[in-house]
A and B are shown apart, each in its own frame.
Chain A
């Protein structure tokens, strides 16, 4: 009971949150499938995958102050783990031949590489999607944070990780499919990916996973652990002096973010039907951060919303103005980070405050609430 109280603090605004969460869940699970056509719904499923990454980045960067520029690494680990299993399942269904994934036959691989063998098991693949990224992040994070390497150093290192990962993926063609990555998926645990009804089911599954991940992350942030994490972000040395171990606190958040990115990758593969190095490199990894920055780095729900908004804008604008989109994206980085570091969450907060003060002006002169500064 005590732990339950710790995990679910009866903070202010709990009722308001429940209302908002129910509304969001209803919108995602009931309204969206009713209103959107198959194509749009599949796009939304893709954005929800990205939103799962964004929640993780919100946890690591917004709450923990670790600028993670290499989430593509973990997204890719999860994606490839799932992709490998799906490829093997399809290969096993082949009537004859060596029962190898198609790209291996093309690059002259004759027997299944040992790395692929355990991915025949569905349970192993599902566990690997989340656990492999978490373990990799925990090991790297421990090594880096233990030596108090932080700030920009950590950001560059995390980026270099994603870069190195992509180079390995491209280089080991017979093992990973090289530049093309893994494509041509047909089924996902019995769901036929060419069947629109199965795709709708897949969307619902992704939406449920997203809502669950969001709830877990939110509880983590509101727990005592979340308080220590924020303290690590704002004054790591003081946290150390108080007897906490900032390394462990930060590694947990980093591994959590990695696990979420891995899960997102695993869902992205059946939804979009491809996992390739082009989705994981330096450029896509840093784009993930701008979603969170646009939404609002310190508010998880807004971070997720940022991913969906940017995803939508990208599909829409890059179709119409291919060159304009890149300028817009660059400008987005500059304007949001330099001039609105709290993102849309800050804008919404400001609007609410203005409305409230307009309403209450007649009644009494209330002092404006103290503004919280976002730590860099």
Chain B
């Protein structure tokens, strides 16, 4: 029972990290059909934003202040990087999803090397603020505050996105574009603007995920590649542009990973999860939540 509960917690905390990275992808992939491989590097940029704030701007004396400020700032850094990418490259590749994948991979290679040149190749450590040190033990399961904080962060992010999508006019326009781009454009929605905003928000969320990554261990120039594939698998299993699907998929993948890892070992668990995904696609080839369309594609 104790093992069951502790793996449950581990699974949920893996899922929360996955979801945080995958949230932004769900929107950019779902709305614009863009596979942004540089998304992982936006996560990395968010993580280094925290690092810079802590070491260069505030010094180690004001860790909590630096950490608090890094959340909005990382959102901005990720978002602006995303805007630049959208404006310079992705806009030109409309309707060529496979090509955007390769182009953004090139961007991600360059960003990684840039980070290596600026911050050095070795990993660096970011200090967690003091109020996140330690943890609590419930029913024999020890839960570090950092993990709980990440879960909380995801919940807040989800609520914010839900509010944006369902209550604000901009969110309504975004849903319209996801459902039917041509019809939305014909109804007077300026789809290029909506695209840009979506990309800003999606990339900004990656930056926020980067702040969360710093709580889990040291950070390095290639940390994005660790997350990007799993995050895309979440999007595939969840269904395109579907918040509900992404949440369920992230939790399912996180839990599957945690329990399989306990039963077998870390390396076989990864392969088993992948096999499960292929089997799952036999039953739901378009993911958990499907938007019904009348076209073939």
Question: A residues bordering B, Cβ < 8 Å?
Answer: 67, 69, 140, 143-144, 146-149, 151-153, 155-157, 159-161, 163-165, 167-168, 170-172, 237, 282-283, 286, 289-290, 293, 323, 326-327, 329-334, 337-338, 341, 376
Contacts and interface: CB of A to CB of B under 8 A. Distances in A.
Nearest to A69: B101
B97 A160 contact: no
Given A147-B285, A151-B97, A156 B35 contact: yes
Interface of B: 29, 33, 35, 89, 92-93, 95-99, 101-103, 105-110, 112-113, 116-117, 225, 229, 232-233, 236, 265-268, 270-271, 273-274, 277-278, 281-282, 285, 296-297
Given A149-B285, A156-B233, A286 B105 contact: yes
12 contacts: A67-B98, A147-B285, A152-B97, A156-B232, A163-B229, A172-B267, A331-B106, A331-B110, A333-B107, A337-B102, A337-B103, A337-B106
Given A155-B101, A337-B103, A376-B98, A168 B270 contact: yes
A98 to B, nearest CB: 25
Contact of B93 (A149, A156, A167, A338): A338
A171 B266 contact: yes
B285 A148 contact: yes
A326 B265 contact: no
A329 B112 CA distance: 12
Contacts, number: 123
A235 to B, nearest CB: 10
A109 B95 CA distance: 53
B46 to A, nearest CB: 20
Contacts of B110: 326-327, 330-331, 334
A330 B109 contact: yes
Contact of A334 (B89, B229, B268, B277): B89
Q: Is the interface of B mostly helix, strand, loop or mixed?
A: helix
A333 B267 contact: no
A159 B98 CA distance: 13
A146 B108 CA distance: 32
Nearest to A325: B113
Contacts of A332: 106
A174 B296 CA distance: 49
A334 B285 contact: no
A69 B229 CA distance: 12
A167 B106 contact: no
A337 B296 CA distance: 27
Given A171-B268, A323-B113, 13 more contacts: A143-B282, A146-B282, A147-B285, A151-B97, A167-B270, A168-B271, A237-B296, A282-B225, A330-B109, A333-B109, A338-B93, A338-B99, A376-B97
A155 B98 contact: yes
B30 to A, nearest CB: 11
A291 to B, nearest CB: 12
Nearest to A341: B99
A160 B99 contact: no
B134 to A, nearest CB: 32
Which one of B29, B93, B112, B229 has the highest number of Cβ atoms from chain A below 10 Å of its Cβ?
Answer: B229
A84 B141 CA distance: 44
Contacts of A326: 109-110, 112-113
Given A333-B105, A376-B98, A338 B271 contact: no
Contacts of B112: 326
Given A329-B106, A337-B102, A157 B278 contact: yes
Contacts of B93: 338
A313 to B, nearest CB: 15
Contacts of A161: 274
Contacts of A153: 236
B107 A144 contact: no
A168 B278 contact: no
Nearest to A334: B106
Contacts of A151: 97-98
Contacts of A140: 278
A335 B220 CA distance: 27
Contacts of B33: 152
Contacts of B106: 329-334, 337
Nearest to A240: B296
A282 B89 CA distance: 23
B107 A334 contact: yes
A172 B268 CA distance: 9
Contacts of A237: 296-297
A156 B278 contact: no
A20 B172 CA distance: 59
Given A143-B278, A323-B117, A289 B96 contact: no
A323 B120 CA distance: 12
A283 B109 CA distance: 9
Which one of B33, B101, B270 has the highest number of Cβ atoms from chain A below 10 Å of its Cβ?
Answer: B101
B101 A67 contact: yes
Nearest to A286: B105
A237 B295 CA distance: 11
A330 B37 CA distance: 12
